[in-house]
Amino acid sequence: MTKSLQDKSIVVTGAGRGIGREIALLCAAEGAKVVVNDPGVAADGSGSNASPAEEVVEEIRKRGGTAVANFETVAEAVPASRIVKMAVDSFGKLDGIVNNAGILRDAIFHRMSIDAFESVIKVHLMGSFYVSHAAARLFREQESGSFVHFTSTSGLVGNFGQANYAAAKLGIVGLSKSIALDMNRFNVRSNCVSPFAWSRLIGTIPTETEAEKARVEKIQQMGPEKIAPIVAFLLSDAAKDVTGQIFAVRMNEIFLMSQSRPLRSIHRGEGWTAQTIAEHAMPALKSSFYKLDRSADIFNWDAV
């Protein structure tokens, strides 16, 4: 049987553990040559450790695949560009980017430090930009390529204590759509994946109440290996017509997520004043307001 990523060159950031590791392993099993990028930081972004990336490379090679380890940070432009350079230097080309690297620095908004906000934005949003931007001209010249970016229902729907993470993850949606629009003429694709899976980052969720403990136990059943197949698909030629989309994956479920479109409108021939907006516009629109939902309120049934 033909492998879906045979001889493709793929970069996976944050590939030393969790979801990134499973993506790297599956891409290699599907025939890709993989740059396993991971500086080996802690969940909050501190420290560094070469072992996670090296262990994934060793595992891929043990299974007969091809991979190299890379320890650069995505949070700065020059190191991020070196990740892309390593793929070209090692494998002679680049066919796909998986922007999976991430950290968490959760705090309720009024207690969130500026450093906690900026560091999360740097890794998730700026990191996705830096790596994608470094690959963009290559993809333009060869008139092919696929970007897969990781978003989250924290940004798509909402969550407590994650203003930094939510802002970054919703920003990534805008980044992906812009790449899809700008590079579609060059046969370059860009899509987002929103994963539900147990990982080190999810391990920071509070488990103080019985309800929180029960929720985390359910999430722990969702293995990161469940996320990898859609990523491998989006990197493959079979996905040549799929771009600008947002997919959520939860166990054996795949969701196509909505994107912002007008819900309803209201018109007043002579224009609006603050008073008529209060008296007329808001009462008319209010039935269509979104509630302050969190991700768990929307995905409120057990994973299948």
- In Å, what is the CA distance from 186 to each residue of 100, 238, 300? 24, 17, 40
* Catalytically annotated residues: 165
Kindly give, in sequence order, each residue whose CB lies less than 8 Å from that of residue 52, ignoring residues fewer than 6 positions away. Answer: 16, 17, 21, 38, 40
Angle in degrees, CA 84, 85, 90, rounded to 5: 105
Tokens coding 137: 């001209």
Say if residues 250 and 229 touch (Cβ distance below 8 Å): no
Instruction: Of 300, 198, 184, give the one whose Cα is nearest residue 244.
Output: 184
> Could you give the residue ranges of the DSSP H alpha helices within the chain?
18-29, 51-62, 77-91, 114-121, 127-142, 153-156, 163-183, 210-220, 228-235, 274-276, 282-285, 295-298
How many CA atoms within 13 Å lie on the side-chain side of 41? 20
Give me the torsion for CA of 168, 174, 179, 185, rounded to 10°: 170
Give dist(CA 73, CA 44) in Å, integer: 14
Tokens coding 160: 């407590």
Give dist(CA 232, CA 144) in Å, integer: 16
Q: What DSSP assignment string belongs to 59-87?
A: HHHHTT-EEEEE---SSSHHHHHHHHHHH
